């Protein structure tokens, strides 16, 4: 049978739509956050980061929002493309220790 926790959250979108991937982090003392993208058969790749003294940071087609009040992080991808299909992880850094979330599977349909 299936085990709880083996299935990651999933998000399916149409090509051209905007995607929002959410992450709840655990430690209110965490001061640095990173989003990674992991494609099948590859290692995680850095996408964007944000320090705890900021609430928003924009990159190319990506925006990270940080809400420290509710310990929530989100990654927004504009005009999502099939090449964006991957697993997305958030990571929090507290005192030099990086802790990763389990990830969200993003599938982009042409």
Partner 1 sequence: EAQVTQNPRYLITVTGKKLTVTCSQNMNHEYMSWYRQDPGLGLRQIYYSMNVEVTDKGDVPEGYKVSRKEKRNFPLILESPSPNQTSLYFCASSLNRKGVGGYTFGSGTRLTVV
Binding site for partner 1 (CB under 8 A): 3-7, 32, 34, 36, 41-46, 49, 89, 93, 96-98, 100-103
Look at residue 29 and give its three-state secondary structure: coil
Backbone angles phi, psi at 80, to 5 degrees: -55, 140
Q: Which two tokens stand for residue 45?
A: 């790749």
In which element (H, E) is residue 11 found? strand 10-14
Question: Please, which residue, 42 or 83, has the CB nearer to partner 1?
Answer: 42
Least spacing, CB of residue 37 vs partner 1, in Å: 11
Residue closer to partner 1 by CB (options 8, 15) is 8
CA 14-15-17 angle, 5° bins:
70
CB-nearer residue toward partner 1: 70 or 97: 97
How far is C-alpha 8 from the geometric centre of its chain's CA atoms? 13
Residue whose CB is less far from partner 1, 16 or 59: 59
Please, what is the minimum distance in Å from the beta carbon of residue 88 to partner 1?
Answer: 12
Whether the CA torsion 6, 69, 17, 49 is positive or negative: it is: negative
Smallest distance, partner 1 to C-beta of residue 7, A: 8
């Amino acid at each position: 049978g299936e085990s709880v926790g083996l299935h990651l959250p999933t998000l399916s979108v149409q090509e051209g739509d905007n995607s929002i991937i959410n992450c709840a982090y655990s430690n209110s003392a965490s001061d640095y956050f990173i989003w990674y993208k992991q494609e099948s058969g590859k290692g995680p790749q850095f996408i964007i980061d944000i320090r705890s003294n900021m609430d928003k940071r924009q990159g190319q087609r990506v925006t990270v929002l940080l809400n420290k009040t509710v310990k929530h992080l989100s990654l927004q991808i504009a005009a999502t493309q099939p090449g964006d299909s991957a697993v997305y992880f958030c990571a929090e850094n507290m005192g030099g220790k990086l802790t990763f979330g389990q990830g969200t599977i993003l599938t982009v349909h042409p």
